[in-house]
Amino acid sequence: MIRGKNVNQALAILRYSNKRAALGIEKCVKSAIANANEAAEKANVSVDPDDLWLKAAYVDQGPTKNRRRTRPAPQGRAYRERRHFCHVTVLVSSDKQDALVKADGKAGEAKPAVSKRAKRGGAAAAPRAKRGASKAEAVTAPAAEEKPRKKASKAASKPGGALRKKKKTDE
Q: What domains does the chain contain, in order, with CATH numbers? A: 7-99 (3.90.470.10)
In the chain, what's the furthest Cα-to-Cα distance? 96
What distance in Å separates the CA atoms of residue 149 and residue 165, rounded to the nearest whole number? 20
Query: What is the structure's pLDDT at 123?
Result: 60
User: Amino acid letter at 98?
Assistant: D
Residue 96 has pLDDT above 80, yes or no: no
How large is the average pLDDT for residues 140-167? 55
pLDDT at 85: 87
pLDDT winner (highest mean) among 29-33, 62-66, 136-140, 160-164: 29-33
Helix (H), strand (E) at residue 156? helix 154-157
- Cα-flanking dihedrals φ and ψ of residue 4, to 5°? 75, 10
Q: What is the pLDDT of residues 16-39, one digit of tens each?
A: 999 999 999 999 999 999 999 999
Residues in the chain: 171
Give the integer Cα–Cα distance in Å for 169 and 163: 10
**Bridge partners for 94 per DSSP:** none
So what's the pLDDT on residue 62?
87
Q: What is the pLDDT of residue 119?
A: 65
Give me the pLDDT at residue 89, please. Answer: 94
pLDDT of residue 3: 92
The count of other CB atoms within 10 Å of the CB of residue 33 is: 21
Question: Which amino acid would we find at residue 127?
Answer: P
What pLDDT digit, counting tens, does each position of 66-82 carry?
888 899 999 999 999 88
**Strand (E) or helix (H) holding 120:** helix 116-120
